[in-house]
Each structure stands twice: as C-alpha cells, then as structure tokens.
Amino acid sequence: MKIYIENLHFTCIIGILDFERENEQEVIINTEIEYLFHKEFINYAEVVDFIKTRMINQKFFLIEDAIQDLSFELKNKFPQIDTLFLKITKPSILPDCVVSVSDTINFNS
C-alpha cells in the first residue's frame, strides 16, 4: 500500500540565514509512505499533523536535518513503514526558482 501526501504547505522557521531564523517562511512537503497493509492502517491525517507539528516546533536549520529527523520520527511513530520518500520545498527563498531537497529511505535494506 502507498500513501501520498502532496503539497502540504504551512509556515515555519527553517534555514540558516538570519532572516530565516526571525521570520517564518512557507514550506511545502510531499511524502510517499509504503507499507504492508494487514488490517492495521496508517492514518494519513495523523501523519500530516505529526509532520506539521514537528517542523513548527523543531525550527530546523537545514532542510537535510529536517528530512533525517522526520524520517526517523515517522518510522518510530508508524513502525509499519517500509519505504519513505520525503521532499521539502522552500518556494520563496530565492526570487527566480523553487528549492527542494528530497530523500528516499528503505527501512528494510
């Protein structure tokens, strides 16, 4: 089974530049969660709430740190996850492009 959460957007503190530490900026998160469904499902609403709360509370400096932390914490909260794709986008950080970082983790390898 695969859950897609697409274009989850909210504001939070993320980044290493001075203005990024002072002002929230928009982030967009896309994720794909693969798991083996055996009568126990993963509640996608809980996943969304968890991601938003974690991002807002942790105030990450680097997108890479946020992805690693979210991956670890999502696997802890939802142990049935087999493979996790996470992409974090900062759509407004540069005037002429959109910047994203992504990673795919296969927890079974």
pLDDT at residue 40 greater than cutoff 80? yes
Q: How many domains does the chain have?
A: 1
What are 10-19's pLDDT values in tens digits?
Answer: 999 999 999 9
Measured CA angle at 76 (ends 79, 54), to 5 deg: 130
Q: What is the pLDDT of residue 83?
A: 98
pLDDT at 78: 97
Q: pLDDT tens-digit profile of 58-75?
A: 999 999 999 999 999 999
Q: Which residues pair with 86 in a beta bridge?
A: 31, 103
CATH, residue 90: 3.30.1130.10
For residue 79, the enclosing domain spans 2-106
Strand runs (DSSP E) across the chain, as ranges? 2-12, 25-35, 81-94, 97-106
